[in-house]
Structure formats: C-alpha cells, structure tokens
Amino acid sequence: MISSRKRIRRQTHIEPVRVVFFGTPDFVLPCLRVLVENPRYAVVGVFTQPDKPQGRGKALRSTPVKLSAEQHGIPVFQPEKLQDPRVAAILRKLSPDVAVTAAYGKIIPEGILSLPPSGFLNIHPSLLPVWRGPSPLQFALWHNTSPTGVTIMKMDVRMDTGPILSQSSHILLPQEDFFSLSRTLFELGARDLDRVLPQYLDQRVIPVPQDDAKATYSRLLTKEDGRVDFSEPATEIERKIRAFALWPGVFHVRQKDGLRLRLVQARAQGSQDSGVLSDVSDALVVPCARQTQLLIEKIQPAGGKVMSASEFIRGFGVDII
C-alpha cells in the first residue's frame, strides 16, 4: 500500500522596501506615483518644503507633493532646516531602506545621507556632469544645451557629483519652456526610477563615476538675470523668456516713463532671414543686437494682466524701449 502525503506549501512574506521621498513641485509627482503604486515599496514618509503664503490674500498653500502624500495617507514632514536634530530622529524612527529625492529644494546634510542603508538616490534634470547645481533646467534652456536629459545618481556629500545609475536624453523643442521641460524630464525620470530602483536594490546595476573634467555648473538665479535692454541678440532674449518662465521672468524698464514690462512670449528673427520680417501683425517688433529682431507676442505691464501685443499697443503705445 502506497501512502499519500499532502504537500504543504509554505507562503513566504516579503517585507516591502521602506522608502522615504523628498520632493516639492507638481512636476515630480510622477516620481512619487511610481513608488506609491508599486507593491514592492512602502513609502513611509514624505519630506517637502514648508507651506508658503501665496496669492493676494497670502493664504498658506501646501506643496503639490504634500497634497498627494496626504491623499495616500503618507506621513508628511516639512522641516525648515534639515540640520535640525529632530529631522535625523524622525528618519531613524521611519527606518527607511532607501531615500529618493526629486526637486526637493534643500541640500541634504551628510549626517542625513548616511541614515538609509541603501543611501539616497537623486533624480537630476540634466545629463550629468553637465549642469550640476540648483538650476539645471533653466541653464539648459538659457544656453540651448541639446540634447539635455535626466540622470538618476547616488548622492554623496558634494552637490550632484555622485555615481550615475541611469540617464535618458531629450532633444530640446523650439518652443519648450521651463514648465514643459520640467514635466518632460521628470516623466522620463519616473520611468527610469521604475526600472532602475529594483536593479539598484538587488545590486544588479553598477553606479558609474562621473567625469569631473566634463562638468559644467548652474547657479541660483537672481532677479537681475531677468533684466534685458535689447543690447543682446534676440535669440538669447527669447531663450531667457522660456528659461525664466517660473522665476525671475524677463523684464524691461521703459525709458520714457519707467514702466516695468514683463516679456511673456516672443519669437526671434535674425539676419539670416534677409532682413524680411514675417507677419508681425500680432507682435511688437524690437530691434536687437547682430541685426536681429524680437517679436513680442505677449507682455505684462507692472501691476496689470498678461496681454497680447495688440492689446498693449492700444493701451500703452507701440514703444516699449
């Protein structure tokens, strides 16, 4: 007689990887979504910038990342300074395996970087080592750096110098501005994060050191970066308008009355066009350096609304210089 034995299958429960996310603006939400929607990960905390007063009423407004985290029931932390000892205590309590940052807006101190066993990964919107620093998107548009792209790197104590896990390229489009490029690059970054984070955690990807000799550097922008007086080529002014769309904007102060004008949308026309203007019925034409012209399509007077060129001419005249 042959006895039968029932096989007992043991179900093994794999604990999810504990992740902390650092980020602030709306265009990094795809990166947070990748972590939230993957059952392999448990997002145990989100760090984002403090609420800030906005609008005419100066009401406090939460960051897009905070609002999204709260919708998913994720604890949110908004420290003024990461050097505060309470931040390290919070992270130790959260006990993350790895941290992911995307446009958080603050430098991560060395003492914080060392807390997760698998470190911090940063989604940086440039092809490192090109445009290290705080303003890579703006500098790529300003200097017409194409292709640009997104890098996922392991963070170290210096800014944007850590070894690279992945990169994806993007060819700049003619009318691309800060907002559209931000969305494009962080959507690419989210896609890459979804692919490379499991490989990194399973030690199936080898971080590649950056070549410091090829590094270029962005910097924090100032209000004066946005000032123009039309003594530079129209192509450079047009690139600034797209690069500085979030802040500081591009502005000119009209000489005859001191009226401050923000240039919102424009196109450039150069000497290569044989000096023949295209249809400019919808634009203010301003002569610039090197026989170029800036065709301003949308403009905003100080204290007023954004208006078309024709609306501006009716209210303020044709002269903006």
Query: In the chain, pLDDT over 90 holds for what percent of residues?
Result: 88
157-161, 270-274, 317-321: the lowest-pLDDT one: 270-274
Report the Cα 286 to chain-centroid distance in Å: 31
**CATH for the 17-214 domain, from 3.40.50.2300, 3.40.50.12230, 3.30.420.10, 3.40.50.720:** 3.40.50.12230
Domains 17-214 and 223-316 are alike in CATH topology: no
- Helical pair 29-37 and 64-71, crossing angle rounded to 10 deg: 20
For 28-45, the pLDDT digits (tens) are: 999 999 999 999 999 999
**Binding site members for (6S)-5,6,7,8-tetrahydrofolate:** 126-129
124-133, 233-242, 263-272: the lowest-pLDDT one: 263-272
The structural domains of the chain, with segments of one domain joined by +, span 17-214, 223-316
Measured CA distances, 261 to 90, 94, 141, 235, 247 (Å): 46, 49, 22, 19, 15
Report the Cα 107 to chain-centroid distance in Å: 15
**Binding site members:** 126-129
Token digits of residue 312: 């501006």
Look up the CATH number of domain 223-316.
3.10.25.10
> Distance from first CA to last CA of the chain, Å, rounded?
105
DSSP secondary-structure letter at 16? P
d(CA 142, CA 151): 19
pLDDT for the residue 68: 99
**How confident is the model over 198-226, as a mean pLDDT?**
98
Beta-strand pair 120-124/148-154: antiparallel
**How confident is the model over 165-189, as a mean pLDDT?**
98
pLDDT for the residue 184: 99
pTM, two decimal places: 0.92
pLDDT at 51 over 60: yes
For 219-244, the pLDDT digits (tens) are: 999 999 999 989 999 999 999 999 99
pLDDT at 5 over 50: no
